[in-house]
Structure 1
Amino acid sequence: MSIDDVRRWRHDLHRIPELGLREHKTSEYVAGALGAMGVAVTRGVGGTGVVGTIAGGPGRVIGLRADMDGLPLQERGDQAHRSGHDGVMHACGHDGHMAMLLGAARRLSAEGGFAGAVHLVFQPAEEHGLGAEAMIADGLFERFPMETMFGLHNMPGQPAGTISTRVGGLMAGEDNFEIRIAGRGGHAARPQMVVDPIPIAAQIILALQTIVARNVDPAEPAVVSCTEILTDGARNAIPGEVVIRGDTRSFRDDVRELLELRIRQVADGVCAAHGASSVVTYTHEFEPTINDPVAVAAAVRAARATVAAGMVDDDVTPWTASEDFGAFLRRVPGCFAMLGNGVDGPSLHSPDYDFNDDILATGVDYYVNLVRAELPR
C-alpha cells in the first residue's frame, strides 16, 4: 500500500467536512473506501456511523475507532485541499484519524497476519459528545462485540510521530452548568427598591472558585469555569435576572458529584442571603477517558514496535480537555493514545489548523502492529 493513498483519503475527507450527525458525504466516502478493499461494511450505526469488519479466523475481537465530524469554523488556510464547505472545517484532525484507520484497513485486509477479527468504528458527532452514545444506543456492542477498544488522536505541541498514553485518567469528563438568578429589577436610580442580581452573581462567581481550592483534594484534578453572564437589564435599569453559564472538568465520579453539589449549595446560599432565588441546571456532556492497564500495556508495546523507544511516553500528563471515546470505555476496557502532530503550528480547533501528513504512516503502522500483536495467529 502506498502512503499516497492515505494522503489522498485525508485530503478528500478534509474537503468535505460535516458537523456531528450530519456526516452523510463523509460516511459514504468511508464506506465506499472500505467496500473497495473488500471489507464488510455496516452503514447507519448511530445515525451516520460506519463499522467495517475484517475477520482473520477464529479468535478474539478488538475495535479500533476514528471520529468523523468537523467543526463550525471558517478555514483560513490556502492549501489545495482546503474545506469546500463554507463555515465548516476539519480543525481537530478527524480527517487524518479516518485516513489512518482506512490505511490500516487496507493493510490488514490485503496482508492478513492476524487471527480473530477487528471492528473499524467510524464514529460521528465526537465534538459535542453525542456520537458514542448514539452508536451504543444503536446496539454497537451487541451487534459488534469486542473485548477491547483502541483510539488514537493527533496532538499539536508534541513532537511529530511520538506516541503517548497513560494508565487511568487520560482526559477529563465535562459537565455544563447554568445558574439562573431571580431578583427584582427596577430603575438604576432607586437601588433600594430592587433585589439586584448583578452583585449576587458576582459573589457566586467568586465563591465558585473556592470549590476546587477548598473542597476538592489538591491531588485530584478538577476545573470550574464560568464562561457566560447574561442579564435582562439595560444601561439605566437594574435587571431582574442574571444567568451564569460554565463548565466543569473532572476525572472521577465522586469529584463530579461533589462539584455539582457545591455549585448548587453556593448558588442557593448566596441568593438566600440577599433575598433572591436560583435555579441550577447541571448536565453531563462527556465521560472521562479512563484507560485500562492491560489495554495500555498492549498499546505501548505496539507503539514501541512502531517508533523508537524514546518516542513513546507511557505516563503522559493527564489533559483536562474531553473526548467522546470515554463513553466507549464505560462499556469495554480500552486505551486512548496521542500521536504527536508537531511542536510548531496552530493548535486544535484553530481556523489555521491542518493535520500533519508526515505522521499518517506512523498511525497506520501503529494500528497494524496493535492488531497483529493483540490477535496473533
Structure 2
Amino acid sequence: MRWIGLDEAGLGPNLGPLVMTATVWETPLAWWSSTTQAQFPQSLNAASNTFWASQSSAITQTTSRDETRLHIADSKAVYSTSRGLGSLAASVHGLLHVWHAGTDSPCKNLPASIRDLVDLVEQSSPAKHQTSEIIEPWFADLKAISLPGQPLTPVQESAISNWLNVCHEAQIELTAIHSRVVMTPEFNRRVKSTGNKSTAVSEVAFELMQQAVQQVLAIDPAAPILLLSDQHGGRKNYEALLANYFPDVWWKTLPASGEGRYYLAENILASFAPRSESYLPVAAASLICKYLRECCMHAFNRWWLQQLPQIQPTQGYPQDARRFRAEIVEYCQKHQLEEDLWWRCK
C-alpha cells in the first residue's frame, strides 16, 4: 500500500517562497481493513494509528527534555524560533536517511548545502529550478551555504540509526520526496494568471499530487494509494480539480466525515481533511516544507545582511514583512530590484 502525504509551508508570508512537498511511503497492505466505502475514513484512521504504532520505538509525536527519539509531527509542534532549527533539522535529516536507505531510492547522496537539498527534492519535478534560472540574487549562490541546524548531536544521530532499523523491521519504505519551491516571481505570475491566491496554490498542490501518483503507478499500476492532504483554505469540494488533474479515471464522491472530504477512483482514495498532519506521511511533508522554507529564509536574510549590515532578519510574515519592506525599498529602487521580484502580490 502506498501513502502520499502532502503539505505546504509559507502560505501566509509576504516574503520568501511557498514550499509544497509530497512524501510517498510503502507499508504492508494488511494494515488496511476490508470495509464498505462508507467506512473508509475509519479504516484510514485505523491504518494511520497502526503506522504510528509501528514506529513508536524510534519516533514520537510529542517530545520531552530527555527524549531520545526523533520528533515527527506537524512542523508547528517541532519548530519554533525560540527553540531554533536543531530539532527540525534532525527530523528532516532522519527522513532523508530513511529515503536514502530505500531499495531503489534516487537519494544516492545526502545533501550538504541548501542547493543540494533543493536539487534533491525537486529532481523529478517538471518545474525544477536550475541555478541559472533563479533571478532572485539572494538565492543565486545556495551551493555555498551549508544546511542550517547542523551538526547533529550524538543523540540525534543515534535516533536516526534506530529509525532506519525500525523501518526495515516493519517493512516500511519512504520511496519518494517530491517538493516544489515556488519563488516569489513564479508565485506572483500564478496569482495574476488565475486571478486569486487560492486557485494558484491549489494548482501547485495538484501538480505535485499528479506527479507523485504517476510515479507510483508507473512502477505498479495496481498499487492501492492513499492520497492525503489538508484542506486548501476554505475549499470544500475537490471533484473538479481531481477530474482535471486525473482525467483518465472516474472519481466517486464518498460520504463526508466531519469536515473531511473523501473521493475514490479505482485504487486511489483521496482525503482532504483538516489537521491531516495527524497522518505520518503528511507530518513528514510538513517538516520538509518548513525546513526548506527556513533554509531559503536563512539565505535571504544572509544576503540582505551583507547589503545592509544593520537590518534585522525577517521570517516574512505580514507585520514584520512590512517593516522589512520599508527598510529595503530604497536599496531595491537604487539597484533596480523590482518589487514583483521579492514582494508577493497576495
Q: Shorter-chain TM-score: which interval? A: under 0.3
Tell me the TM-score normalized by structure 2.
0.24
Tell me the TM-score normalized by structure 1.
0.23
